[in-house]
């Protein structure tokens, strides 16, 4: 036979459940090291494009792409934003990888466009400058994108 609970105990239990639900939803993320690695790779590729021989630019681009394609399937799910918790797939949008890859495509186009503008303006190292600027955009835009995904998940769960 179950023991009846008071209204206060029920409210406390429900608020505890809601608090834990919010904590789980807050874990929807791509790890911070992913954005740092991406930004670092962006800078390295920009510097290579300005200072390195053509073979180094090609090799760097291929290595960067290979490293990303190895890491991306695991981290772009949004389910492993930290080492504390792996979120069940039903809570996380399946569109996160598409959103992140779309963001990266936009950043790639921005890098090329910005480098071309800098080159046309006579800048000495347009690719390195463009890579640095876009790396900063990746560092700020990636977490902002994931914040938007978390807020959307919270609205859908409510």
Report CA 59 to chain centroid distance, whole Å: 24
Say if residues 81 and 28 touch (Cβ distance below 8 Å): yes
- What average pLDDT does the structure give for the chain? 82
DSSP for 36-101?
HHHHHHHHHHHHHHHHS-HHHHHHHHHHHHHHHHHHHHHHTTSS-SSSS----GGGS-TTHHHHHH
pLDDT tens by residue, 37-74: 999 999 999 999 999 999 999 999 999 999 998 988 88
Token pair in block for residue 104: 């990266």
Handedness of CA 42, 37, 149, 70 (dihedral sign): positive
pLDDT tens by residue, 136-149: 999 999 888 888 87
Q: In whole angstroms, give the CA distance from residue 2 to residue 117.
A: 73
Q: In whole angstroms, give the CA distance from residue 104 to residue 149.
A: 16
Say if residues 50 and 127 touch (Cβ distance below 8 Å): yes
Q: In whole angstroms, give the CA distance from residue 123 to residue 114.
A: 11
Sequence ranges of the domains in the chain: 7-157
pLDDT band at 155 (very low <50, low <70, confident <90, very high): confident
């Amino acid at each position: 036979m179950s023991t009846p609970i008071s209204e206060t105990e029920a409210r406390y239990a429900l608020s505890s459940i809601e608090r834990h639900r919010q904590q789980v939803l807050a874990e929807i993320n791509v790890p911070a090291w992913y954005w740092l690695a991406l930004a670092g790779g962006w800078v390295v590729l920009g510097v290579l494009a300005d200072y390195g021989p053509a073979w180094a630019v090609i090799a760097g681009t291929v290595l960067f792409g290979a490293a990303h394609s190895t890491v991306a399937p695991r981290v772009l799910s949004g389910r492993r934003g930290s080492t504390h918790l792996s979120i069940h797939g039903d809570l996380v949008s399946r569109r996160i990888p598409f959103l992140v890859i779309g963001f990266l495509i936009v950043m790639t186009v921005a890098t090329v466009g910005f480098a071309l503008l800098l080159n046309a303006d006579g800048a000495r190292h347009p690719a390195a400058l463009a890579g640095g600027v876009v790396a900063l955009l990746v560092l700020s835009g990636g977490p902002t994108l994931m914040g938007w995904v978390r807020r959307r998940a919270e609205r859908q769960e409510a």
